[in-house]
Amino acid sequence: MILDGVAHAISAIRTGLRRDHPLLQLEEDDLDFIVHFVLASGSLKEMAELYGVSYPTIRGSLDRVIAQLRKRGGGRDDMTELLAGMVERGELKPAAAKSIRALHRNMMDRANGQED
């Protein structure tokens, strides 16, 4: 089943991502919602049909999940914003920006006592 595969993938992600990754802090129901949303290609109409609720109800659910992600740091941090700007202006290659961001996050995790 698709959700079994997703559960396995989430388990694998949990072992490989920063402990503070916003997705890892969501409730299982919210993770399931995100999976269904992606599988529905982001169609709120299809999601409403799948869940058997109205479009405004499913939109409210999506807004709630978005708020949870924002609250848990799902937005870009200052370093990510800086690097993204440099990539957009052609001052830095995407691969280099990704490496710098990973190094920065690793250093921040160490500074916050979140070493593996």
Distance CA 115, CA 107 (A): 9
Using DSSP's 3-state secondary structure scheme, residue 69 falls into helix
pLDDT 10s digits, 49-60: 999 999 999 999
**If you count DSSP H runs as helices and E runs as strands, how many of each does the chain have, helices first?**
6, 0
Which among 54, 64, 69 has a CA at the least distance from the CA of 21?
69
- Which pLDDT does position 116 carry in this prediction? 46
- Which pLDDT does position 66 carry in this prediction? 86
Tokens 């993770």 belong to residue: 31
pLDDT 10s digits, 82-115: 888 888 889 989 889 889 988 887 887 777 665 5
Distance CA 100, CA 108 (A): 12
